[in-house]
Structures are given as structure tokens and as C-alpha cells.
A and B are shown apart, each in its own frame.
Chain A
Amino acid sequence: MRGFVSSCPGRSGTGIKALLLAALLCAPLTTAHAVEPSEILADPALESRARDLSKGLRCLVCRNQSIDESDADLARDLRVVVRERLVAGDSNDEVLDYVVDRFGEYVLLKPRFSPVSAALWLGGPLLLLGGCLVAWRQVTRRDEAAQTPASPLTEAERARLRDLGVDPDSRGEA
């Protein structure tokens, strides 16, 4: 689940074996402490914006951890950068632009819409739409089949039903 040990400083790990272990058991290998008391901004509004932004930024040396969760040094540096930009008066988007300019799109845990990420963003909605259409067609087809009575009974069939003691005009449930 959590971070990749060997590249996250401050943790002992045995490289690929530890990773396999972690992977096997869905196991994070580090307990993270992330945000240190010294980093926290005095202004609670700014701090809360910083936390929100941090949750969407990747710790570049960890496996699938945000900088909000990671205690790697690089994550800490990035947290500090985010807070500096906020204190300097940047809007959230400006902070993200600033970080992306320096570290690339890879740093964003929610990729921006682009030709590269188009299939990622459109895949789900398109499947839902396509699935709805297919399901709707199936359902209406079954419904039509239910509505249209099989070809009307011939007089011979009606006579036979009457012989069996069934009223051919009744619509009784089976």
C-alpha cells in the first residue's frame, strides 16, 4: 500500500525483496509521519490549503505516496516550497503551476487533461455511456419480446386449448 522503502531515506529496507514482501501483503513498508510541527503555517487557512495541495502532489522518490503522507526529505522540501508559495500570495493553481514547471506533470497525482491522459479521463465516462446504450437496447428488446405475443393462436389451437379446459382468451400468469 504505502511507500517504497529503499528510496525513502530514513528507513532501512532490503530493496527488491522488501518491495516484493510489501507488494505481496499489500503492505506499506514505512510508517509515515509526514507533516512535521515545524513546517506548519501560523495561518490556519493557508495551512489547510497547503494540506489540500500536498495531498495532490506526489512524493517523487516514493512509490505512490503524496508529499502529505511521506517523510522523505524531498517530500518535506516540496511541502515547504508549497507553503512558501502560499505565503507569497500564490493561488492554488499558481502553486501547482510552479511545482509542475520544476518537476513536470509527473508530480500531479491527478493528471491534467492532455492528449496523453485523454484515455484515462474519458475511458470511464465513455464506457458508462456505451454500457448504458447496450443495456438499454437489451432491455427494450426483451421488453418488445414480452409485448409482442407470439403469433396469435390458430382456431385449431384454440379448440385444443378448450378441449384441455383452458380458456384461450384468459391472460393468466403461469
Chain B
Amino acid sequence: MVAELGHFALVLAFAVAIAQSIIPLWGAHKGYAEPMRFAESAAMMSLLLIGFAFAALTYGFINSDFSLRVVYSNSHSDKPYLFKIAGVWGNHEGSMLLWVLILALYGALVAAFGSNIPPALRARALSVQAMVAVAFLAFILFTSNPFERMDPVPIDGTGLNPLLQDWALAAHPPFLYMGYVGLSMPFSFAVAALIEGRVDAAWARWVRPWTLLAWSTLTVGIALGSYWAYYELGWGGWWFWDPVENASFMPWLLAAALLHSAVVVEKRSTLKSWTILLAILAFSLSLLGTFIVRSGLLTSVHAFANDPERGVFILGILVVATGGSLALYAWRAPQMAPEGVFAPVSRESGLILNNLLLSVATAVVFIGTLYPLFVEALTDNKISVGPPFFNMGFSPLMIAILIAMPVGAALPWKRGDLPRVMKKLWTAAALSLLVGAMFAMWRTGGPLFAPLGIALAFWAIFGVIVDLAERVKLGRVPARETLRRLARLPRSAWGQALAHMGMGVCAFGIVGITAWESEDIRVAQAGDMIPLAGYDIRFDGVERTQGPNYRIDGGQFTIFRDGRQIAELVSEKRFYPVQRTQTTEAGIRASLVEDIYIVIGDRQEDGGWAVRSYVKPFANWIWLGALIMTLGGILSLTDRRHRVGAPNRAKPAGKADVVAAE
């Protein structure tokens, strides 16, 4: 009964979304206030209805209602409670329901907190948002109904893939979708602005918070996925350039570009049409990601051709949304004349460089991800594009971004003086080279690029610190004045500082783990000592125990350093009888310096066990960096300029207008 109500709520939401995609748009066109206001009530209603449908499905999972096909296929009565709930989105139908739920959530947020946005723009944006909702609700209702019943009702479910029964992976999709779907907001605002034919500093200010929220959550989502892969997959890889990862990484890169170009629109009233284009493309890549993932295109063109219904449906959505918005763009964008002028050396130019590098990086990932599909579809050849290609194509662009980042951030608007900026930054450069040299002496035997990479990462970190010190006139004015200046820095400045610093921290981790990882693979007998990177690892044998819904073979290890015991580790091999699947849980002693990472393998014929031991220097800095970036995004989000009402009340916009009017 609950499931039928949920299904009914979805149908109602579909109807509401259709109304919301037409009535406010018409009202805005005619200038009628009532139809425009309808957008808000409709957005709220959508959230209620889709929220109810989602709750109904969750109810089915919690109560193990195996008459529902998705529950039967993805749950089991023995499954721990948390994973029964996570099972809601651990499957195709439920994940699409989560997708539209988050879409509705964003719409409702605009309706609830968008009172500072002009009514016509808000009505149009919510209408565009509703069009996306119509498309995806139709997709769910016609191809992926999560409330489908089974008759006869099975006794028990087939369970959730054990690899997915993990907290990080339970939290991964909601965050990822908050990001993916959040990019629908800048998209909707971009299309609304194209319909209106006007983009100004105020527009950029309304778009930025949504982009920030989407980018921050996407960062968390990607980092969770990466961290999960690190500890769960059994050899500590953290990024694989897999098409599914790339599908989430491309919108992230473009959203980062969009964040930066929106600043230029806001402060300097230029780069308008480019920013609109980025907003359209960022969401299009989200749709493309959804398409790649949902269509089965990943395995091969043929797998897609065998079961094309869902894939074709999303491809249709992608073509209409991207094609339609780009056509609108081609028609309206030329009317958006750039206003602000600036010199080649200026913060504007720095941000253009940022956008150029991020966009080309996105393009490299895009080409690499889709190239094998095109080759297979268009020619008789088959080629593979894997990590070696991506590393080679992507790294130089990231290095360029890291080099340019502190310089660009220190340049003033309009016209800058490169020698003067470099004079400010030389302390950062000297310190980072010093750190690089220290690493070269401390960590001998690594590859040559490593100390340079470390220096580059610290250049980003020290660059931020020097810039902050410069802004608060550290050492040049009394300490109290410095503190006062520090306290008065806007939160968006702190946000920027943290995000840039996070980049450096993340780069540091990447260089560290890439350059100095140690590995040992062997067959060990109980009692054997494994010497590795300054540690001695004693294998104490394997104990068999029982987990909640799996059996455990736990490899026991004791770690010594200089003859002193520093840790005991257990590396588990888990066997899930329901799915007849085995997973590994690495034994990890995590620290900021290095992780000791041990994986127990199969039992050998001679009674020994395959044991893989790794020492992974600075691994955790990768996710720490992502966390810092996220904090930066959220801090920026709380800047009061994003919250206060009319833009002309805030000073910088007024100033920008004067500058633009020169």
C-alpha cells in the first residue's frame, strides 16, 4: 500500500513539474505576478511529493518488503540496518529517485531562500529546473519504476553487493548527486538569463552560491569514492581514470572553472557569455555522466545496443537539454557585450588562464573517456585508453594550474604588475624550494620529479599564506591592526585561501604516494618477519571469526619499528554467503606521515598465506586536501554577500558598476 502511494506521489510530482515548467515561464513573459509565484509553491509541492515517494521506497527497504522488485534484488533480511537504507540508492531505480529528490530539493531551496532574486528570473529558472524534472520523472515512471511489485513474493532478497556494504560508499552517491544535480541550478539560471537576454553582476552573485554548493558536495562525493577505493579494493589505489570516475570528475573540473569565471562576471562584468556557456556545459557533463553510467555504454557499444531503452531515453534528455540550451546560447549570447576592460597582466587574465587550463583538462578527460567508444562505433578498430594516457595528458595541465595559482590570486583586478607580485611571492617560492630540497635529502632513492613536485605543492600552500600575510600587512603594522584586518577579511577570501591551500595539500599527497610507495609481496608462514621501508611486520597467523552477515578470515600482524612494537593490525578476508562473494578489508595503520597497509591473500598449498604489504607515504593528505577544499567552498558559501538582499546594497557591485561605466 505504501509503495502504491509512493508511486502515486511520483505521478503527481510529474504533473506538478509539467505545470511548473509552463506556467511561470508564461507568467514571466507576460509580466503576471501570480503565475510567476506559482513556481515557488510548485517547487515546494514537488519536494513534498518526491520526498514522500522516496520515503515510501525507504520504508520498503527497511521493512524488507520483498514484493518490491528492487528490494528483492538489492536487499536481504540479514543485512545491517544502515545498509538497508543505503540499499535504497544502491540500485538503478532507487538512485534515479534520489536524483530527482535532490533536483526537487534544489528547486525548493531556491523557492525558500531566493527572495532576493528578481521574480521574473526566479520564475524562469524554476521553470527550466522543472523541465529537467519532467524529463527525469518520465524516465523513472516509464522505464525505471522503483515500485514494481513481484508475484509471487520471494522469501528473501538476493542482497546488496558486499563491496557496497560500506559506510563511505553508502554516503558516496548522495554527495555525488548533490553535486551533479546541483549543477542544474547554474544551468537553469543560465538558460533563464538567456531567455531574458540579460546577464549582470547580480546574476553572477545569485549563481555562485549554487555552484559553490554543487562543487563542494561533488568534492566530498569524489573524495569518498576515492577513499573507499583506497581502503576497500585491496591494493591502495585511489584513482583509476575509470569512465565512471571521469564522469564525475569532468563536471567537477568545469564547476571549478565556473566558480572562477562567475567571480569575473560579478566583479568586472565581463566573461559573461563564456560563463553562461560553462554553466550549460557543466550540467551537460553531469547529464553525460548519468548517461554513461546508466546506459551500460561503459562495457561496450554492443552492451548498450542490446538493452537500449534506458540509454536512449537519457541520451534523448541529454541531446534536448544540451542542444536546446546551446541553440538558445548561439542565438542570444552575442547580445551580451563584455563591459569591463583589463590589461594582459591582471587578475582577470589570471582567471581566464585558470578557465583555459581547467577547460582543456576537462576536454582531455572527455576525449580520453569517449574515444574508445567512438573508435569502436565508427571503425573496425578497438583501442584502449587507460591511466597512462590520462596521467600523461592531465598532469602537465595540473602542474600549470599549480604554478599559476598563487600568482593569479595575488594579482590585482584590471592591471597588475608581475615583477611586483613576484616580489611579494618570492618568500613563498624560496620556502617551497627549501621544503623540496629537504624532501630530496630526507627521502632519498625516489624519482627525480618528486622533490620538484613537493616544491610545487608547497608553492601553492605558501602562496596562500604569503598572500594572506600581505593582505593583513603582517609585520608592517602593529599586531592589533593585523588582527583587525584578519577578522575583517570576508569569508569568501578565507574560502578562496582554503580551497587553494587544499589543492596544494592534495597535490602533496599525490606526489608522496606516487613517488615513495614501498611494496612487498610474498608467501608468509605464521611467525615470519617482513622487513619493509624501516618497519618489521610480523605475520601472526589467521583467525576465523563470524561477522553480522559474513565470515571472516582475519590475518593478524604486529608492526615493529627499531625492535619496538608500534601497532597490531588485522587484515580481513570476508566471505558473504548470500552472494557467495569475497571481499578484503586491508589492515591499515593510518598516519599523516605514512600508512602501513597490509592485505591478506589466499592460502597457499604449503600452508602459508599470500601477504601484500605496502607503505604509502602521505596518502591521507590527498583526502585531507579534498576536505580542506570543501571547507573552503562551504566557508565561501556563508559569505554574507551571498545572503544579503539587493545587490546594490553591497559595496563592491556599486564599485564594479562605476568601473564598468568608465
Contact = CB atoms under 8 A, between A and B. Distances in A.
Interface stretch (B226-234, B278-286, B319-327, B476-484): B226-234
Contacts of A12: 579-581
Interface stretch (B39-47, B60-68, B380-388, B630-638): B380-388
B164 A26 contact: no
Given A21-B90, A25-B172, A1 B389 contact: no
B244 A116 contact: no
Contacts of A131: 356, 359-360
A28 B364 contact: no
Interface string A1-33: 110100000011110111111111111111111
B368 A120 contact: yes
Interface in A116-153: 116-117, 119-120, 123-124, 127-128, 131-132, 135, 138-140, 142-143, 145-146
Contacts of B612: 33
A79 interface: no
B234 A27 contact: no
B164 A34 contact: no
B584 interface: yes
Interface string A135-174: 1001110110110000000000000000000000000001
Interface in B347-371: 348-349, 352-353, 356, 359-360, 363-364, 367-368, 371
Interface string B64-75: 000000000110
Interface residues of B, number: 90
A116 B379 contact: yes
Contact of B582 (A14, A25, A31): A31
Contacts of B661: 174
Given A132-B356, A142-B341, A111 B582 contact: no
B296 A123 contact: no
Interface residues of A, number: 65
A110 B243 contact: no
A34 B341 contact: no
Interface in A15-62: 16-38, 40, 55-56, 58
A109 interface: yes
B270 A26 contact: no
B298 A23 contact: yes
B605 to A, nearest CB: 10
A81 B629 CA distance: 44
Contacts of A34: 235
A26 B169 CA distance: 9
A40 B229 CA distance: 25
Nearest to A142: B341
Nearest to A116: B381
Given A69-B235, A142-B340, A124 B393 contact: yes
B312 interface: no
B344 A143 contact: yes
B384 A123 contact: no
Contacts of A25: 90, 95, 164, 169, 172-173, 225
Contacts of B414: 146
B592 interface: no
A174 B353 CA distance: 27
Task: Indicate the member of A25, A33, A140 with the most B CB atoms within 10 Å.
Answer: A25
B233 A32 contact: yes
B513 to A, nearest CB: 15
A28 B233 contact: yes
A26 B356 contact: no
Given A23-B293, A120-B371, A174-B659, A33 B91 contact: no
Contacts of B389: 109-111, 120
Interface string B566-590: 0000000000000111111000000
B299 A19 contact: yes
A63 interface: yes
A62 to B, nearest CB: 10
A12 B163 CA distance: 12
Contacts of A20: 91-92, 294, 296
Contacts of A66: 386-387
Contacts of B384: 58, 64, 106-109, 111
Contacts of B493: none
Interface in B546-580: 579-580
Contacts of B299: 4, 19, 63
Given A111-B385, A128-B356, A145 B161 contact: no
Contact of B522 (A37, A109, A145): A37
B610 A36 contact: yes
A16 B172 contact: no
Nearest to A63: B299
Interface string A72-109: 00000000000000000000000000000000111111
A110 B303 contact: no
A109 B90 contact: no
Interface in B514-550: 521-523
Contact of B303 (A16, A30, A64): A16
A88 to B, nearest CB: 23
A26 B341 contact: no
29 contacts: A1-B225, A1-B229, A13-B581, A17-B73, A21-B91, A25-B95, A28-B163, A32-B235, A33-B601, A33-B602, A36-B610, A37-B610, A38-B523, A63-B298, A64-B240, A105-B383, A109-B385, A110-B392, A117-B375, A120-B367, A120-B389, A123-B363, A123-B367, A124-B360, A131-B356, A131-B359, A139-B342, A140-B344, A142-B341
Given A30-B163, A139-B342, A139-B348, 15 more contacts: A1-B229, A12-B580, A21-B74, A21-B164, A22-B161, A24-B95, A25-B164, A28-B233, A37-B610, A55-B388, A106-B383, A117-B371, A117-B375, A131-B359, A142-B270
Interface of B: 73-74, 90-92, 95, 158, 161, 163-164, 169, 172-173, 176, 225, 229, 232-235, 237, 240, 242-245, 248, 270, 292-294, 296, 298-299, 303, 307, 338, 340-344, 348-349, 352-353, 356, 359-360, 363-364, 367-368, 371, 375, 379, 381-389, 392-393, 397, 414-415, 521-523, 579-584, 599, 601-602, 604, 610, 612, 655, 658-659, 661-662
